[in-house]
Amino acid sequence: MSSKPHAPTIIGLTGNIGVGKSTVLAMLRKLGARTIDADKVAHGVMLPGGRAYDAVVTAFGPTILLPDGAINRRQLANIVFAYPEKLAQLEAIVHPAVEQAVQDGIEAADAPVAIIEAIKLLEGGLKSICDEIWVVTAPEEVQIARLMEDRGMTEQEARRRMRYQSPQDWKAAQADVVIVNDSDLAALEARVTRAWEEMMARQRNNDS
């Protein structure tokens, strides 16, 4: 927990691919949280001039570059999700840079609650700075349908991506709050709002 005076309550939001973390994050932003999307931060640190760019290019070679010098993220994903050791290599480069950028974002937060959304929150170092862990879950068939519809993946690609992630049950077991996203947006928003209100009540009790 952060010891900075008047520091925000830090919530780590995680869950596997296709469960709707970004949708939950947007709802929490509407409720007043300062939100940090670690996936977008990861994009930033791998842009030319970013904290991880040179190390990624050195590790994976110039063939992953687009003509303008940017990293071809789709090509890089095809490499690392085909070879687990390559994924571990990429994460070892990118995660420390992302964690530092996230820390910078928290320092700049001007809201009572900061939300860090990260798919590898529990596996990396970000967990240690969070006051609460929230996990979003969804049934496997719902995840696959979302990945096929929203990201244009084949069923085989979706299952391969899911296979390389930690089990949902393992993540949910470490959560202070579990949000099940198995229905429509209205139901999800109701669950997110209830979790937010209960968290704010806990915060008031801790401050009193």
Global confidence as pTM: 0.82
Does residue 1 lie in a domain region? no
Report pLDDT digits (tens) over 156-176. 999 998 998 999 999 999 999
Burial class (CB in 10 A: 0-12, 13-18, 19+), 1: exposed
Does residue 4 lie in a domain region? no
Strands 9-14 and 132-137: parallel
Report pLDDT digits (tens) over 13-43. 999 999 999 999 999 999 999 999 998 999 9
Question: Which pLDDT does position 206 carry in this prediction?
Answer: 79
Q: What's the CATH number where 94 sits?
A: 3.40.50.300
Does residue 27 lie in a domain region? yes
Give the C-alpha distances (Å, rounded to integers) separating 197 from 22, 31, 107, 194, 206: 19, 9, 24, 5, 14
Q: How many structural domains does the chain have?
A: 1
Domain that holds residue 141: 9-207
Mean pLDDT computed over every residue of the chain: 92
Does residue 126 lie in a domain region? yes
Q: What percent of the chain clears pLDDT 70, i.e. is strictly above it?
A: 97
Q: Name residue 56's amino acid.
A: V
Does residue 83 lie in a domain region? yes
Does residue 195 lie in a domain region? yes
Cβ neighbors of 76 (< 8 A, separation 6 or more) are 56, 60, 64, 90
Does residue 2 lie in a domain region? no
Does residue 197 lie in a domain region? yes
